[in-house]
Amino acid sequence: MNKGGKLHSPALPSEECELFRAELEDVVPLTPHGRVLTSPARLPPVPLSLFRDEREAIHESMHDPVRWDADTETGEETSYLRPGITRQTLRRLRRGDWVAQAELDLHGLTRVEAKRELADFLFACKRRGARCVRIIHGKGLGSKNREPVLKLHVRHWLMQRDEVLAYVQARPVDGGGGAVMVLLKSLNA
């Protein structure tokens, strides 16, 4: 390159220049077509969080699917009963025979934050020997489509935990469709 920033071609011997011109003798220059050739438009930037969220959703759909089995009712009032536990236990939990000894409110948390908080909460309850707890996941009234975001996830996560014996939708006085009452194993079990 020369000082002006333009490419500089090395000087060719005059014989080579004559040979080159002789080869290009029949070449006709292109006629101007009047179109402007622009470089392709740059694609808009894609936030990395979008890729992370999509990857997480795919991972969760493959490794953390929401499954409903025979012990789970699929109506508005959902419940779960671990195999080997009597239906009487479920009825007693639904009636409110046990008093909630601890409570966790997941309002405003993301799915990842809620899962972490739930795991920490259940671990602490197990350590303290709490048997009945209330987990508030919300009814979804403040969410984008006015649908509960965490409801199905919380209930599925509870089904995966060994310390959870049963859960039922909370009574209206305890939060109704926005909360679940959970019965945990005793320390002796």
The string of pLDDT tens digits covering residues 81-120 is: 999 989 999 899 999 899 999 999 998 888 889 999 999 9
The string of pLDDT tens digits covering residues 4-16 is: 555 556 677 788 8
Listed residue (162, 60, 76, 115) closest to 182, CA to CA: 162
183 touches 132 (CB < 8 A): yes
How far does CA 75 lie from the centroid of its chain?
Answer: 25
What is the mean predicted confidence (pLDDT) over 52-68?
60
Domain boundaries, the chain: 52-184
- Say which CATH topology domain 52-184 has: Ribosomal Protein S8; Chain: A, domain 1 (3.30.1370)
